[in-house]
Chains A and B, each alone.
Chain A
Amino acid sequence: MATATTPRDDQRIIEFDVRTDEMLVNMGPQHPSTHGVLRLVLRTDGEIISEVTPHLGYLHRCAEKIGENVTPIQYIPYTDRMDYLAAMNMNLGYSLAIEKLCGMKIPEKANVIRVVICELNRIASHLVGMGAYGLDLGTFSPFLYAFREREMILDLFEEVCGARLTYSYLTIGGAHDDLPEGWSERCQKFLDYLKQRIEEYHTLLTRNAIFIQRTAGIGILTREQAIAYGCSGPMLRGSLRKDLGDPDWDLRKTEPYSGYEQYDFKAIVPPFDVAPPEAVVGDCWHRFYVRMLEVLESIKIIEQGLKKYAPLKAEGDALTAEFEAKKPTLAAPEQKKELEKANAAFAARLGHRIELPKHLPPGETYVETECPRGQMGFYVVGNPAKSLVPLRVRARSSSFSNLSTTNLLCAGCLIADVPAIVGSIDIVMGEIDR
Chain B
Amino acid sequence: MTSAEIIAVLEGQFGAKIKAKNLEAIDPFVTIESADLPAVCRFLRDDARLKFDILSCISGVDYLEPDPKKVAKAGFEPHTEVVYHMQSFAHRHRFVVKLNLPRWKGDKPGELPEVPTVSNLWPAADWHEREVYDLSGIWFTGHPDLRRILLAEDWTGHPLRKDYEFPLEYHGIRGR
Contacts and interface: CB of A to CB of B under 8 A. Distances in A.
Nearest to B73: A385
A364 B25 contact: yes
A368 B152 CA distance: 29
Contacts of B96: 366
Given A57-B150, A385-B73, A433-B150, A364 B27 contact: yes
Interface stretch (B3-11, B12-20, B48-56, B105-113): B48-56
Contacts of B57: 366, 377, 379, 394, 396
A258 B68 CA distance: 42
Given A64-B160, A229-B123, A404-B127, A366 B149 contact: no
B155 to A, nearest CB: 10
Interface in A75-101: 100-101
B59 interface: yes
Given A364-B27, A404-B124, A391 B63 contact: yes
A404 B126 contact: yes
B124 A229 contact: yes
Contacts of A65: 159-160
Interface in A39-75: 56-57, 60, 62, 64-65, 68
A60 B151 contact: yes
Interface in A355-376: 362-366, 368, 375
A377 B53 contact: no
Contacts of B126: 404
Contact of A400 (B62, B63, B89, B127): B127
A60 B65 contact: no
Contact of B124 (A60, A228, A391): A228
Interface bin, chain B: 35 or more
A368 B76 CA distance: 27
Contacts of B54: 227, 230
B26 A363 contact: yes
Contacts of B85: 366, 377, 379, 396
Contacts of A249: 89
B167 to A, nearest CB: 13
Contacts of A227: 53-54, 89
Given A64-B160, A404-B126, A368 B150 contact: no
Contacts of A434: 150
Nearest to A396: B57
Contact of A384 (B76, B152, B160): B76
Nearest to B148: A57
B48 to A, nearest CB: 16
Contacts of A56: 149-150
- Most chain B CB within 10 A, of A56, A100, A365, A394, is at A394
Contact of A364 (B26, B53, B56, B135): B26
Contact of A365 (B27, B59, B74): B27
B4 to A, nearest CB: 18
B56 A396 contact: yes
A254 B92 contact: yes
Contact of A401 (B26, B70, B127, B160): B127
B26 A230 contact: no
A255 B91 CA distance: 12
- Most chain A CB within 10 A, of B54, B75, B76, B128, is at B54
B83 interface: yes
Nearest to A61: B150
A100 B26 contact: yes
A97 to B, nearest CB: 10
24 contacts: A60-B150, A62-B159, A64-B135, A101-B26, A225-B123, A227-B54, A227-B89, A229-B124, A230-B56, A247-B89, A254-B92, A362-B75, A366-B94, A368-B56, A377-B56, A379-B59, A379-B83, A384-B74, A384-B76, A385-B65, A394-B59, A401-B128, A404-B126, A404-B127
Interface of A: 56-57, 60, 62, 64-65, 68, 100-101, 225, 227-230, 247, 249, 254-255, 362-366, 368, 375, 377, 379, 381, 384-385, 391-392, 394, 396, 400-401, 404, 433-434
Interface of B: 25-27, 53-57, 59, 61-63, 65, 70, 73-76, 83, 85, 89, 92, 94, 96, 122-124, 126-128, 131, 135, 148-152, 159-160
